[in-house]
Chain A
C-alpha cells in the first residue's frame, strides 16, 4: 500500500477484531472505518468519513453519467493473443479469467448515450480486466469511439483507470498509444470536444497518450496519476517519495490537471462543461 493511504491513526474501533457479517459492511482502506455497503453504494462509493473514493466498475460510471438508456458498441471485439504469450499463466487464460470476472470482453466499454440530454460518446476503462491495461482491443475500441464522435460530431468523454500498456501484446500494445493519439489529433482538428476523466489509478502508456490529451482534464480526488509507477521511481532513485507524490492534487499543483472533482459532483460538472461548449439546437 502506498504511503498516501497508509493508516496513520488507530481506527475508532480499536485493535480488537470484530466479526463483521460478510458482504454487508466494508472497511475503508484509507481511514479504516467500517461502512455500511448499501449506504456506500448510495454515496457513489465515497467513504462517508474521509471522502476516500473506492475504485468502481465501468458499469457504475456509465450508470452514474448516462441519463437512462445507452447503446454499447463494438462490445465483442476481443484479443486473439497475437504473440501466444505465456508467463506464469497463459495470456489466453488470463483473458478468459478476466472475462469471467468482469463480464467484459476487454478493458474498455464504449457507449453512446445522453448525459443531461447531451448526446455523447463515452469510453470507460475497466480496471478489473488485467489492470485496465491497453492492448490492441482497448486501442481499437477507443479509436473507433473517437471516430464515431468525430463522424457524428458528438463530444467525447473517456474515463481512465489503467496500469498502462499491456505487456502480453508487446509492441502492438505500445503502438496503441500512437494510434489513439493520432485519432484524437484528427478529432481535435475537426473541432471535437474531449473531456478526459482520470481515476485511480491512471499510469504508464495510458497517461502518456489519450488520458493526458483532453481539452479538459478532470481528476478524482486522491487518484494515482503518473507515467512511471511509484515503485519503479523509488527503486531508481533509491529514496522515499514525497507525500502525495503523483496524486491528483499534486498533478493539479504542477499544472497537469484542470479540475479535481469528487464523484458525487462529477455529472454536474460535466453537464456544466457540456452546456458551456456544446450548442444544442
Chain B
C-alpha cells in the first residue's frame, strides 16, 4: 500500500499493514489466524476512532487537504442521478476551478456551483488548484440567476485555498466579481445552501459562500486567510501555520462555537477519504433535508431571515 500518510496517521497504517501481512500469511500457509486478526481489527477500529477524534486544528487542516479526499465532482458522481454541466461566464472564459450545472438528486432538482480541485498535477493545472479567476465567480452568478429564474434551489460546494492572486485576475476585477456575488447572493430569490467539503479561505471561498444555511463536513476549515498566509504575515514565517491555525480557530467545530456554522456533518471514522461512499451518503441526506426545509419557507421571509442571519455575525462590545 503506497498511501500518503500524515505523521499522526502512521500508527494506523503500521497496524493495517500488520493485519494485511497476517491475512496473507494465513492464506498462503493455511494457518488459522482468524482470532488474532479479529483482535487486531478491533484494535485498529479503536485506534482510528481515537486518533481522528483527537486531532488538533492543524491536523484537521491537513486532513481537509488530504489528496485522496473526495472533491466536488466525486460527490456529484455519487449523489446525482443526473448532472448537466454548463460552462463559461458569457464574457471572457470558462473557469475550470468552479463547476456549475443542473443536478437531479432523487426527485430534487438543484443548481450546483462548486470549487473543483484536481486529483493529480496535470488535473490540478487544468483546475488551477481550485483557485478561481473572476470568470469563475461570474459563471457561478450566471448559474445562480438561472436558479432564481426557474425557482430551483442552489447548492454551493466550497473547497478552495483562495481566489487566484495573479495579474489577469486583478485586471479582470477579482474584487469586483467577489463583491458582486456577495451582493447578489444576499438577495437571490431562491434557497441557497452552502456546504464546506474541504477548505475555504478568504473572499475566494466566500465569493460563492453566502446563503441560508452553512453546513460543514467535520474535517474542514474555513477562515479569513489560510493558516500559511496568516503565519507569513503575522509571524513572518509560513512554517508557523500550525500556530496560526490554532490562533485563528479555523475548524468546523470552531465555526459552530462562533455561531457561524448551522450544522456539522460527522464523517466516517478516519475522515471522508477513508470512506467516500458513506461520506457521500450522509452529505446527500443533509443536502436534501436542508433543501426541503428551506424550500418550505416563503421566499420573502427566507430573504429576510438570510439578511438577519448575516446582520448578527461578529462580536463586539458597546460602551
A residues adjacent to B (C-beta < 8 A): 76-80, 82-83, 85-88, 135-137, 139-140, 143, 165-167, 169-179, 181-186, 188-189, 204-205, 207-213, 225-229, 232-233, 236-237, 241-242, 245-246, 254-256
Determine if A83 and B248 form an interchain contact, defined as CB atoms under 8 angstroms apart: yes
**B233 contacts chain A at the CB level, 8 A cutoff:** yes
Query: A228 contacts which of B174, B234, B317 (Cβ < 8 Å)?
Result: B174
- Nearest-Cβ distance from residue A142 to partner chain B, whole angstroms: 11
Determine if B203 and A205 form an interchain contact, defined as CB atoms under 8 angstroms apart: yes
B residues adjacent to A (C-beta < 8 A): 163-167, 169-176, 178-180, 182-184, 186-187, 202-203, 206-207, 209-210, 222-225, 229-230, 233-235, 247-250, 254-255, 258, 260, 306-307, 310-311, 313-319
- Nearest-Cβ distance from residue A45 to partner chain B, whole angstroms: 26
Which residue in chain A gives the minimum CB-CB distance to B307?
A: A182
- Nearest-Cβ distance from residue B113 to partner chain A, whole angstroms: 16
How far, in angstroms, from A246 to B172 measured CA to CA in the complex?
11
How far, in angstroms, from A226 to B225 measured CA to CA in the complex?
16
Q: Which residues of B contact A237 (CB under 8 A)?
A: 166-167
Q: List 21 A-B contacts (CB under 8 A).
A: A76-B318, A77-B316, A77-B318, A79-B316, A139-B314, A170-B224, A171-B260, A174-B203, A175-B313, A178-B310, A181-B179, A182-B182, A185-B186, A186-B307, A188-B183, A204-B202, A208-B203, A213-B183, A226-B174, A233-B165, A237-B167
How far, in angstroms, from A135 to B233 measured CA to CA in the complex?
17
How far, in angstroms, from A178 to B313 measured CA to CA in the complex?
9
Determine if A78 and B319 form an interchain contact, defined as CB atoms under 8 angstroms apart: yes
- Nearest-Cβ distance from residue A26 to partner chain B, whole angstroms: 29
Known pairs A83-B249, A182-B187, A236-B166. 6 more at Cβ < 8 A?
A171-B254, A172-B315, A175-B310, A178-B186, A209-B179, A242-B167
Query: B170 contacts which of A165, A212, A233 (Cβ < 8 Å)?
Result: A233
Q: Which residues of B contact A171 (CB under 8 A)?
A: 222-224, 248-250, 254-255, 258, 260
- Nearest-Cβ distance from residue B247 to partner chain A, whole angstroms: 5
Q: Which residues of A contact B163 (CB under 8 A)?
A: 227-228
Kindly name the residue among A172, A178, A242 whose own CB sees the greatest number of chain B CB atoms within 10 A: A178
Determine if B183 and A173 form an interchain contact, defined as CB atoms under 8 angstroms apart: no
- Nearest-Cβ distance from residue A146 to partner chain B, whole angstroms: 11
Q: Which residues of B contact A228 (CB under 8 A)?
A: 163, 165-166, 169-170, 174
Determine if B202 and A165 form an interchain contact, defined as CB atoms under 8 angstroms apart: yes
How far, in angstroms, from A237 to B225 measured CA to CA in the complex?
19
Q: Which residues of B contact A256 (CB under 8 A)?
A: 173, 175-176
Q: Which residues of A contact B224 (CB under 8 A)?
A: 165-167, 169-171, 173-174, 205
Determine if A87 and B235 form an interchain contact, defined as CB atoms under 8 angstroms apart: yes
- Nearest-Cβ distance from residue B193 to partner chain A, whole angstroms: 15
Which residue in chain B gives the minimum CB-CB distance to A74?
A: B318
Determine if A80 and B307 form an interchain contact, defined as CB atoms under 8 angstroms apart: no
Closest 6 CB pairs of A and B: A136-B314, A228-B165, A182-B186, A181-B182, A82-B315, A207-B175
How far, in angstroms, from A213 to B181 measured CA to CA in the complex?
10
CB contact under 8 A between A233 and B166, given known A171-B260, A182-B186: yes
Q: Which residues of B contact A167 (CB under 8 A)?
A: 224-225, 230, 233-234, 248
